[in-house]
Structure 1
Amino acid sequence: MKIRPEDQARIAEAIARAEATTSGEIICVLARRVSDWRDVALAWAAAAALVLPLGLIPLGFDASWLPGLGANWEAAHTAARDLTVGRTLAAYGIVQAAVFLSTLLILQLPPLRRWMVPTPLRRTRVHRAAMEQFLGHGIHVTENRTGVLIYAALSEHVVEVVADKGIHAKVDPELWGELIAELALDLKRNRPADGFVRAVERCGVVLAEHFPPGAMNRDELPNHLIQL
């Protein structure tokens, strides 16, 4: 998903228009992804390697199932039985390794990578990434604590709005929920610029109602869409 220069300009203009009507500040961030989710993929692969091969045991799994590990003749000697057990354990280890690597490779596919991540974990990491941007851009130190961050994570399919504490007491949280839903729908339709412009305009209306512009109305934060 690409944001063309002309769309960047549209978003910047929308932010400038919105901020002209309020003392609030609006920051828009579009992140390609917030994590590579390597740790989650490793956890799934390890779980698959531990659990899936267990299904072979009731079927009588032994070393002969893998070429080159089984013996052509069976001996009754104790040492021979020990050798058979060792070969079977080695074969089982090979199956586990194959399952682990196969699962890890399969989960590199973007749709499957998104599916493998539990929704609460995905939202938690997006929220953490959004808070890092909120603090990193100094939204929390605006003059009247009326900064708003509109954050979208493309790979994770999550949109979040972070409003400073000066806004929470006056703005109904449901309004942010509606804004999030509309922006998420535009992103799903591959219309990121339209989505951000509408989100900024709606945010501007909300802020103008509760936080009218002051005498100076300084522009404290950048107006362009930040892409990560």
Structure 2
Amino acid sequence: MLLDKQAQADLAAAINEQEKRTDAELVTVLAHQADDYRYITTLWAALLSLLVPAVLLFVPHWLTSFEALLLQWGVLLVLAVLFRFKPVQFRLVPRGLQRQRAASLARTAFLQQGLHHTRDDTGLLIFVSEAEHYVEILADQGIARHVSDEEWQAIVDAFVRRVKAGQVAQGFQEAVTACGDKLAAHVPATREKNELPNHLVVL
């Protein structure tokens, strides 16, 4: 569930507080879904509709070629619509592809939000794609020199559990605090700054 205005305001305030402790710039991005995956569900519908002629071989009442074609098209359309419902759709889309699409969107967001243009290369992105239950923390080189990707993983894992439980707002709050603690230790504040906006970016 996407965050309401109050939850977004609380998150922006939390980011503002954490940025007082570090030279890093924190940006949070929330996507409802990384891709519509329509091509995947359409492919599934098309493949299953191709089975219609084989099934008709076992039907005692023969259909004309035209009637069989109409039935096949009908099956295709019904399945294409059915497979667009989220609970069905995400059972058809391979988990690896979901992660690939979400990871690609995270990197696009990193660039679009200008995290690679901070003064000391200290941008940090906390990215969530809700439908895929995908969380990633991306750090620019000024942070990556001090904190490895593996050190962020515990924060990511905890956030993923929150997303799966439908507690995205709480997950963001906890992640921002945990990231702030690491950043304050490794990239402590040496100057006043606010190069990037603190509000949640919703895609």
TM-score over 0.5 for the alignment?
A: yes
SS in 1 for 2:152: helix
Aligned length: 203
What is the identity, as a one-letter code, of the residue corresponding to 2:197?
A: P
Which structure 1 segments of 5+ residues have no match? 70-86
Report whether the alignment pairs 1:160 with 2:171: no
SS in 2 for 1:65: coil
Which is greater in Rg?
1
Report whether the alignment pairs 1:220 with 2:195: yes
TM-score (norm 2): 0.90
Q: Is the 8 A contact 1:10 1:193 kept in 2?
A: no
Report whether the alignment pairs 1:97 with 2:96: no
Q: Tell me, in whole angstroms, the C-alpha distance in 1 between the residues paired with 2:98 and 2:2.
A: 23
* Matched-pair identity in %: 34
Deviation per CA, 1:6-34: give whole Å up to 9, x if none: 32222112111111111111101111222
- In structure 1, the partner of 2:32 is 32
Q: Tell me, in whole angstroms, the C-alpha distance in 2 between the residues paired with 1:171 and 1:93.
A: 60
1:33-112 paired onto structure 2 within 5 Å: 33-50=33-50, 52-53=51-52, 55-56=54-55, 59=58, 64-66=61-63, 69=64, 87=65, 90-112=66-88
SS in 1 for 2:192: coil
- In structure 1, the partner of 2:100 is 124
TM-score (norm 1): 0.81
Q: Tell me, in whole angstroms, the C-alpha distance in 2 between the residues paired with 1:177 and 1:188.
A: 16
What is the identity, as a one-letter code, of the residue corresponding to 1:218?
A: K
Q: Tell me, in whole angstroms, the C-alpha distance in 2 between the residues paired with 1:118 and 1:54.
A: 27
Q: Is the 8 A contact 2:102 2:134 kept in 1?
A: yes
Q: Tell me, in whole angstroms, the C-alpha distance in 1 between the residues paired with 2:2 and 2:133.
A: 15
Q: Tell me, in whole angstroms, the C-alpha distance in 2 between the residues paired with 1:114 and 1:29.
A: 22
Deviation of the 1:135 alpha carbon: 0.6
Q: Tell me, in whole angstroms, the C-alpha distance in 2 between the residues paired with 1:94 and 1:22.
A: 65
Deviation of the 1:2 alpha carbon: 4.1
SS in 2 for 1:36: coil
Q: Tell me, in whole angstroms, the C-alpha distance in 2 between the residues paired with 1:58 and 1:183.
A: 52
Report whether the alignment pairs 1:205 with 2:181: yes
- In structure 2, the partner of 1:179 is 155
What is the identity, as a one-letter code, of the residue corresponding to 1:157?
A: H
Deviation of the 1:178 alpha carbon: 1.4
Deviation of the 1:156 alpha carbon: 2.1
Deviation of the 1:56 alpha carbon: 2.3
2:168 aligned to which of 192, 197, 208:
192
Deviation per CA, 1:107-146: give whole Å up to 9, x if none: 0111111111111211111111111211111001111111
Q: Tell me, in whole angstroms, the C-alpha distance in 1 between the residues paired with 2:72 and 2:138.
A: 44
Q: Tell me, in whole angstroms, the C-alpha distance in 2 between the residues paired with 1:43 and 1:165.
A: 40
SS in 2 for 1:128: helix
SS in 2 for 1:40: helix
